[in-house]
Amino acid sequence: MPVTAATRRARACANLLRQVHAITEDEGITPSALHAIKLKLEALARRADLFPADDFAMPIAQGRNHKLLVEEGDGHGLYLTIALPGKEAAPHDHGIWCIHAGISGQERHRFYRRIDNATEPGKADIIQVGEVMIEPGKGMAMADHDIHATEVVGDAPAIGLALYGYALDRFPAVAWYHPAFGATRSGASRRHAA
């Protein structure tokens, strides 16, 4: 009996998380550790045979996250993400590290840095400091409290892998930034909800 894509995918995802834990146990969450993890996630994303389109429902609205491997408690969350053409997300800070790698399509990530002193509630000034295109074979890594905005470009959905320091249902409060107004707001933390 042939081994299914779902079985091979589950093994590959479990192997990735073992490698991630080995890296972080050895080094902690450092820029070099995040880069090493990014390389591992990019390698997994290049294995398109593990992620056949028929295994993952397309979004009804703008985007959808499919759980691939979510660890218990405060463990990591690995997802297959699908974002439709035109989907955008304003600048935001997840409050936890994250790494993305492209399977197909293109998603532009713009990176920002906060330049005010963060002393006035609801106010924030940010400037763009970089940009990367997530596409097949390419990814990006963000540390805790890095700020990014996303935009799917082109006519095809952006399909990729996303690995977060916490599972999505255990995220800290996400901070959203509105550069045109010099404003920020935070959503509710999910740290104790799950």
Checking if the pLDDT of 89 tops 50, the result is: yes
- Reported pTM: 0.92
| Mean pLDDT on 40-63 | 92
**Residue 194: inside a domain, yes or no?**
no
DSSP H/E element including 191: none
Strands 147-153, 98-104: pairing kind: unpaired
The residue-averaged pLDDT of 153-175 equals 91
Cα of 185 vs its chain's centroid, Å: 20
Helices H / strands E in the chain, number of each: 2, 11
What range defines the domain where residue 174 resides?
A: 5-186
Which pLDDT score is estimated for 77?
95
Residue 82 domain flag: yes
Q: Is residue 126 part of a domain?
A: yes
Please indicate, yes or no, if residue 45 is contained in any of the structural domains.
yes
Residue 81 lies in a domain: yes
Q: pLDDT tens, 110-130?
A: 999 999 988 888 899 999 999
Say what the pLDDT of residue 181 is: 86
DSSP character string of 15-68? HHHHHHHHHHHHH-S-HHHHHHHHHHHHHHHT-GGGS-GGGSPPPSSSEEEEEE
Residue 191 lies in a domain: no
192 falls within a domain? no
Tell me how many domains the chain contains: 1
Is the per-residue pLDDT at 171 higher than 90? no
| Residue 14 maps to a domain | yes
On whether the CB atoms of residues 104 and 45 are closer than 8 A, the answer is no
Report the C-alpha gap between 64 and 43 in whole angstroms. 22
DSSP state of 179: G
Band of the pLDDT at 169, cuts 50, 70, 90? confident
Mean of the pLDDT values across residues 53-81?
A: 91
DSSP 8-class letter at 192: T
Task: Check: CB of residue 74 under 8 Å from CB of residue 21.
Answer: no
Question: What CATH code is carried by the domain that includes residue 125?
Answer: 2.60.120.10
pLDDT digits over 16-35, tens only? 999 999 999 999 999 999 99
